[in-house]
């Protein structure tokens, strides 16, 4: 039995697979999302709209960290209370736990932003009021429109 | 009519019948829309043909061995009639029913064709070589021809074009002398047929998954995808012409299986999402196809008589392999696509949240993308639609490209596991090839 053709086939196949792996073939997949419990690098910003956005993103991180989901999953579920409940249930959380996590997350993010001087006292007060008092559905509406509402 | 013309027409009949195992691959999305059926349901247009061909091949071969000329003519007429029904089918059930009848006719004509070729070629060995080559070419060219016909004339034209072509092959058997009744058939070569089954299952992945990746995954037009996958049959033709210089049938079969595995492994670790990345793996797959299928068919038929019956076994093995490949790999691919779609969605949401577009637009874009994903209902979504009403500014363009890139990554990665599993099937074929080597020497 001639083994040269077999060796050639093995070498050619292995060379191609090796080249593709070296070019990043095994890592060509969707980018991983960041852990919401790990602080993100700070982004310098001047515009007030962007500052509010940073507060809301930080609130999303805080809430997602508490619920054990990614920030992105949380944001995608912000469309309605029902979708948020589905997300919470998938992580074995109740609606009350979800609501607490959302309100606490927003309050912590507002406190940190105020401490850093990112937002002023009146904006912080308005956001804290929303976090503590607004019904969940209204709070979500406020969060979705917060940038324009507070800009 | 000369021997060469008759041989060409018989080869055309074989090619048509075996091309039908994959010819509608690129037409499946159009058929799905035409009859409003689910993805697993539409796959039966492919599966039914291969399943019935696998089941009918051996009985058809027994029927063909006594009267090959009559069997070829009847098989061709049944195939042509059923093709017409498929092309004009008003319902999905009738289309699948037509495909089953087509497969019965195809089994009869392909098995009878082997005996006819023995008459025409003069020797069993040459007949087997021509028969195997026609089958390999038909199976490999099927998706390309189907893709081009679907885009230019519609999916129905695939079946309607086959009718006159199949009927034309009947000229080949006019006044062809009938063969004497052959002796009872011996046992089939189990090892060679098992290897054929495994390699065919792996090649199903090469053809079926590759065209799916190109058309549904990377949004390449069917006709263009059809042209792209012609690299494989071209490589198969080139390698087939040099096959005898490679070595004995066991060496060719083993080298072919290794090349198929190498090509599939490379498709399983694609470093990008452009069709250009598939060209070199296709060269390996085509070369492997040209070597392995013909060599294994020769091994399965070597020294065995009558040829039609053992040819029937090889057809049964090859198409059983196609069915195994489809049934095994489709759910794995579907699950991987769902999982990666979720990952792509999260990565896309991260891209939106971290982008430079105005804060007010971020949630709106994220929700539009989510809506596009849900509207796609399991198919690859068109996320560019979420940017239709957005300003033509760099921040939006960059984000759009990033989202498309994440989706491409997700789709490409979803095909990885099925391709690698298919490579495993090709490597597994080395076991029966090694066993077969001890039993038969060609």
> Over the stretch A49-58, which tens digit does the pLDDT of each residue have?
677 778 888 8
Residue with more model confidence, A149 or A5: A5
Q: What is the mean pLDDT of residues B24-47?
A: 84
At B269 the pLDDT is 96
pLDDT tens-digit readout, B95-130: 999 999 999 999 999 988 888 888 787 777 788 888
Nearest residue of B to residue A19 by CA position? B266
Question: Averaged over A100-116, what is the pLDDT?
Answer: 88
pLDDT interval class at A149 (50, 70, 90): very low
Residue B161, Cβ neighbours under 10 Å: how many? 18
Between B422 and B411, the higher pLDDT residue: B422
Q: How large is the average pLDDT for residues A71-82? A: 80
The verdict on a CB contact (< 8 Å) between B367 and A79 is yes
pLDDT of residue B41: 83
SS3 sequence, B67-92?
Answer: CHHHHHHHHHHHHHHHHHHHHHCCCH
Structure tokens at B314: 């090889």
Whether residue B345 and residue A72 make contact (CB cut-off 8 A), yes or no, is yes
Interface contact A30-B413, CB threshold 8 A:
yes
Residue A47, exposed/middle/buried by CB under 10 A (0-12, 13-18, 19+)?
Answer: exposed
Q: Output the pLDDT for position B64.
A: 84
Which residue carries 């890592």 as its tokens?
A27
| Higher pLDDT among residues B23 and B40, named by residue | B23
Mean pLDDT, residues B24-39 taken together? 84
**Which CATH architecture fits B1-170?**
Up-down Bundle (1.20)
Residue B346 confidence (pLDDT): 81
When pLDDT is cut at 50, 70 and 90, the band that residue B286 belongs to is very high
pLDDT score of B428 more than 90: yes
- Output B124 or B227, whichever has higher pLDDT: B227
- In this predicted model, what pLDDT tens digit does every residue of A30-66 receive, in sequence order? 888 888 888 877 776 766 667 777 888 888 888 888 8
Most confident of A65-74, A128-137, B118-127, B378-387: A65-74
Determine the pLDDT at residue B199. 92
pLDDT mean across residues, chain B: 85
Alpha-carbon gap: B31 to the closest alpha carbon of chain A (Å): 30
CA distance B405 to chain A (A): 8
Output the CA–CA distances (angstroms, integers) from residue A104 to A48, A59, A131, in the order listed: 23, 8, 8
CA-based nearest residue in chain B for residue A16: B266
DSSP code string of A91-131: TT--HHHHHHHHHHHHHHHHHHHHHHTSS-HHHHHHHHHHH
Q: Which of A10, A11, A17 to mutate to test the interface with B (most CBs of B within 10 A)?
A: A17
A99 or B266, which is more confident: B266
Interatomic CA distance for residues B170 and B174, integer angstroms: 7
Residue B378: how many other CB atoms lie within 10 Å: 13
Q: How far apart are CA A42 and CA A54, in angstroms?
A: 9
Q: Measured between CA atoms, how close is B300 to chain A, in angstroms?
A: 18
Are residues A5 and B246, on separate chains, in Cβ contact within 8 Å? Answer: yes
Give the pLDDT of residue A20.
96
Instruction: Examine the pLDDT at A72 and tell me if it is beyond 60.
Output: yes
Contact at CB, B247 and A1, closer than 8 angstroms: yes
Question: Has residue B179 got a pLDDT over 80?
Answer: no
Q: Is the pLDDT of residue A146 over 60?
A: no
Give me the mean pLDDT over the B14-24 stretch.
86
CA distances for B294 relative to B67, B126, B129, B199, B253, angstroms? 25, 12, 7, 11, 8
Residue B267's closest chain A neighbor by CA? A17
Cβ contacts (< 8 Å) between B272 and chain A: which residues?
23, 28
| Whether residue B12 has pLDDT greater than 70 | yes
Could you count the other beta carbons within 10 Å of the beta carbon of residue B177? 7
Distance from the Cα of A56 to chain B's closest Cα (Å) equals 10
Q: Residue B147 in contact with residue B225, Cβ under 8 Å?
A: yes
pLDDT of residue A95: 81
Q: What is the pLDDT of residue B325?
A: 87
Domain ranges of chain A: 1-30, 48-150
Interface A-B: count of C-beta contacts within 8 A: 136
Write out pLDDT tens, residues B153-172. Answer: 999 999 999 999 999 998 87
In the prediction, which pLDDT does B317 show?
92
Residue from the list A21, A30, A70 with its beta carbon closest to the beta carbon of B269: A21
Nearest CA in chain A to B361: A147
Cβ of B262 within 8 Å of Cβ of A13? The answer is: yes
- Residue A38 in tokens: 């790990």
Residue B410: its chain A contacts at CB < 8 A? 29-30
If one compares B259 and B147, the residue with the highest pLDDT of the two is: B259
- Selecting from A5, A16, A72 the residue whose C-beta is nearest the C-beta of B349 gives A72
Contact B263 A16 (CB under 8 A): yes
Does ipTM exceed 0.90? no
Structural domain spans, chain B: 1-170, 337-414
Q: Which of B270, B272, B284 faces A13 most closely, judged by CB atoms?
A: B284
Yes or no, beta carbons of B284 and A12 under 8 Å apart: yes
In sequence order, which ranges of B20-123 are alpha helices (DSSP H)? Answer: 28-35, 39-42, 44-66, 68-88, 92-121
- Span B57-82, mean pLDDT? 90
Report the share of chain A in percent with pLDDT over 70. 88
Residue bearing the bigger pLDDT, B182 or B416: B416
Please determine, for residue B244, whether its predicted confidence score (pLDDT) is greater than 80: no
Find, in chain A, the residue whose alpha carbon is nearest to that of B281: A16
Write down the pLDDT at residue B168. Answer: 92
């Amino acid at each position: 039995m001639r083994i040269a053709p077999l060796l050639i086939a093995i070498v050619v196949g292995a060379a191609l697979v090796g080249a593709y792996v070296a070019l990043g073939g095994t890592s060509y997949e969707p980018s991983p999302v960041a852990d919401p419990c790990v602080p993100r690098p700070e982004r310098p910003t001047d515009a007030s709209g962007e500052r509010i956005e940073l507060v809301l993103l930080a609130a999303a991180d805080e809430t997602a960290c508490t619920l054990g989901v990614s920030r992105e999953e949380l944001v995608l579920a912000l469309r309605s209370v029902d979708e948020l409940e589905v997300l919470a249930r998938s992580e074995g959380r109740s609606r009350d736990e979800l609501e607490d996590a959302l309100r606490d997350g927003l309050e912590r993010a507002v406190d940190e932003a105020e401490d850093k001087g990112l937002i002023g006292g009146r904006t912080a007060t308005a956001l804290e009021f929303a976090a503590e008092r607004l019904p969940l559905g209204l709070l979500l509406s406020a969060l979705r429109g917060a940038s324009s509402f507070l800009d | 009519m000369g021997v060469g013309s008759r041989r060409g027409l018989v080869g055309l009949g074989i090619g048509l019948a075996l091309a039908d195992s994959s010819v509608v691959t690129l037409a499946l999305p159009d058929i799905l829309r035409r009859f409003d059926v689910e993805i697993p349901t539409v796959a039966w247009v492919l599966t039914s043909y291969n399943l019935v061909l696998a089941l009918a091949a051996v009985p058809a071969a027994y029927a063909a061995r006594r009267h090959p000329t009559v069997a070829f003519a009847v098989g061709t007429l049944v195939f042509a009639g059923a093709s017409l029904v498929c092309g004009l089918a008003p319902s999905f059930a009738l289309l699948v029913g037509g495909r089953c009848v087509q497969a019965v006719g195809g089994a009869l004509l392909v098995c009878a064709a082997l005996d006819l070729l023995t008459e025409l070629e003069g020797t069993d060995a040459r007949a087997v070589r021509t028969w195997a080559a026609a089958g390999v070419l038909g199976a490999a060219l099927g998706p390309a021809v189907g893709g081009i016909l679907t885009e230019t004339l519609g999916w129905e034209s695939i079946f309607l074009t086959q009718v006159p072509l199949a009927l034309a092959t009947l000229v080949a058997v006019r006044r062809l002398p009938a063969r004497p009744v052959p002796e009872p058939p011996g046992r089939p070569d189990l090892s060679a047929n098992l290897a054929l089954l495994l390699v065919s299952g792996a090649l199903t992945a090469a053809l079926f998954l590759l065209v799916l990746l190109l058309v549904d995954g990377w949004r390449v037009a069917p006709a263009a995808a059809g042209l792209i996958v012609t690299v494989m049959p071209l490589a198969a033709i080139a390698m087939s012409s040099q096959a005898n210089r490679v070595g004995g049938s066991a060496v060719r079969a083993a080298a072919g299986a290794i090349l198929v595995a190498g090509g599939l492994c490379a498709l399983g670790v694609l470093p990008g999402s452009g069709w250009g990345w598939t060209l070199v793996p296709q060269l390996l797959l085509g070369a492997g196809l040209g070597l392995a299928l013909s060599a294994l068919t020769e091994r399965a038929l070597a020294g065995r008589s009558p040829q039609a019956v053992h040819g029937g076994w090889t057809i049964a093995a090859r198409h059983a392999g196609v069915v195994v490949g489809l049934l095994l790999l489709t759910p794995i691919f579907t699950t991987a696509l769902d999982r990666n779609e979720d990952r792509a969605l999260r990565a896309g949401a991260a891209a939106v949240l971290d982008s430079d577009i105005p804060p007010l637009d971020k949630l709106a874009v994220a929700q539009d993308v989510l809506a596009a994903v849900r509207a796609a209902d399991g198919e690859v979504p068109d996320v560019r639609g979420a940017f239709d009403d957005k300003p033509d500014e760099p921040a939006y363009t960059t984000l759009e490209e990033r989202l498309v890139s994440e989706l491409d990554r997700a789709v490409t990665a979803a095909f990885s596991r099925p391709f690698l599993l298919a490579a495993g099937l090709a490597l597994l074929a080395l076991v029966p090839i090694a066993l077969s080597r001890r039993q038969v020497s060609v």
